[in-house]
Amino acid sequence: MKYIIGLFMIVFLWSCSQPAKQAPYKPIVDVYNTPKGDKIIFLDDYYRSYLKAIKAGNKNYDSLYKADISGPIQSGYFSKCEYSQYVGSEFRYPIVDTTGLKYYTFAIKKNEGRIDSIITDALVVANKFLKNDSITILIQPSNYYNRAMMRKMGGVYAFTAGSKQILIAIDTTVHSWQEVLKYCVAHEFNHTYWTKMKYNKSTPFTLLDWMILEGRADTYADMLYPDNKSPWTMALTEQEKIDLWKRLQPNLQSEDQTLQHDVMFGSDTYPQWGGYTLGFNIVQSALRNHPELKPLEWATMDPKKILEMSNYK
């Protein structure tokens, strides 16, 4: 597979969640052990170390960020995961808004117990129809750079790093974050399950693959939390769906990463979240036509088969 599993994209073995021996900074992070072997790890101490160094007078944000945050987190928690080569994109920019970061980091600490409770419950619910144990969920604070997008998404952003790990950023100033967090865990859990069952790095990953991958994840989350309607599954009007589908049909088997990203997330020529909305609608259409199918059957079903079963022709 050549491309990352996104939004949600983006969550391996227990050894993968251990801090690396050579990490430049090893804070005492808060770890919660859930009943079925899952772990919830709060990464805010890495960010506090960064803030402490800046407060002490070191203004080399880039080198500090790499030394205290991106370097140790990537090497300590993601180096052996299926999508480890893409994790760097989640830590590409140093955080210069230290006032905002201090606030967001404090907010995560203040809500730590509530976050743990929501995720623990959501993992139990997610395992109702699909099974995947020993998942590590890492929690980081939000930051200024993604503030606007976080608000559009309800205060939660997540990235599946492999079959056993999920990275989640939370902005607790967004009033809906608690409800969205449940949905988000279910969505990413579906990605971890697919990765465990189907991932093969040598298999080409097409635009249709990504659309259906996200459509399955949103369908699973929507099934578990039907009252939480995610904006990325409702980003298009009916006419916009028709127009975008016509444009995409000739390119469904494209492996072009730029095209895939533009379709899924939006660009100057493609509407925001258009690929997510169409993917969700295709999976929904297929399951309406075949209500006998169970989650265990469609969770890893071939995207071409799902498309054939839908009304999208």
**Strand, helix or coil at 243?**
helix
pLDDT for 42-75, tens place per residue? Answer: 999 999 999 999 999 988 999 999 999 999 999 9
Average pLDDT over residues 31-35: 61
Placement of tokens 């608000």 in the chain: 151
Backbone angles phi, psi at 233, to 5 degrees: -95, -5
AA identity, residue 138 = L
Report the range of poorest mean pLDDT among 13-27, 149-163, 203-217, 248-262: 13-27
Average pLDDT over residues 138-147: 86
Distances (CA, A) of 299 to 197, 213, 218, 236: 10, 9, 11, 24
Placement of tokens 């079903």 in the chain: 301
Q: Is the pTM of this model over 0.85?
A: yes
Q: Look at residue 145 in the predicted model and tell me its pLDDT.
A: 72
pLDDT for 281-311, tens place per residue? Answer: 999 999 999 999 999 999 999 999 999 999 9
pLDDT for 87-97, tens place per residue? Answer: 998 898 899 99
Residues 194, 241: Cα–Cα separation, whole Å: 26
Q: Look at residue 30 in the predicted model and tell me its pLDDT.
A: 62
Residue with more model confidence, 53 or 24: 53
Q: Considering the chain, what percentage of its residues have pLDDT values greater than 70?
A: 88
Taking 80 as the threshold, does the pLDDT of residue 15 lie above it? no
Residues 238, 163: Cα–Cα separation, whole Å: 35
Average pLDDT over residues 253-267: 97
pLDDT for 157-186, tens place per residue? Answer: 999 999 999 999 999 999 999 999 999 999
Placement of tokens 């955080």 in the chain: 95
CB burial string 234-267: b at 16+ within 10 A, e below: ebbeeeebeebbeebeeebebeeeebbbbbbbbe
Q: Look at residue 29 in the predicted model and tell me its pLDDT.
A: 53
Q: Look at residue 59 in the predicted model and tell me its pLDDT.
A: 87
Q: At what angle do helices 257-265 and 274-289 cross, to 10 degrees?
A: 80
Residues 301, 101: Cα–Cα separation, whole Å: 41
Report the range of poorest mean pLDDT among 13-27, 71-85, 141-155, 289-303: 13-27
CB burial string 12-30: b at 16+ within 10 A, e below: beeebbebbeebebebebb
Number of Cβ atoms within 10 Å of the Cβ of 296: 11
Is residue 301 within 8 A of residue 237, CB to CB? The reply is no
Q: Look at residue 146 in the predicted model and tell me its pLDDT.
A: 80
Confidence of residue 33 (pLDDT cuts 50, 70, 90): low
Alpha-helix residue ranges (DSSP H) falling in the chain? 44-55, 61-65, 71-73, 98-110, 112-126, 147-152, 177-198, 207-224, 238-248, 257-265, 274-289, 295-298, 303-309
Confidence of residue 143 (pLDDT cuts 50, 70, 90): confident
Average pLDDT over residues 240-267: 98
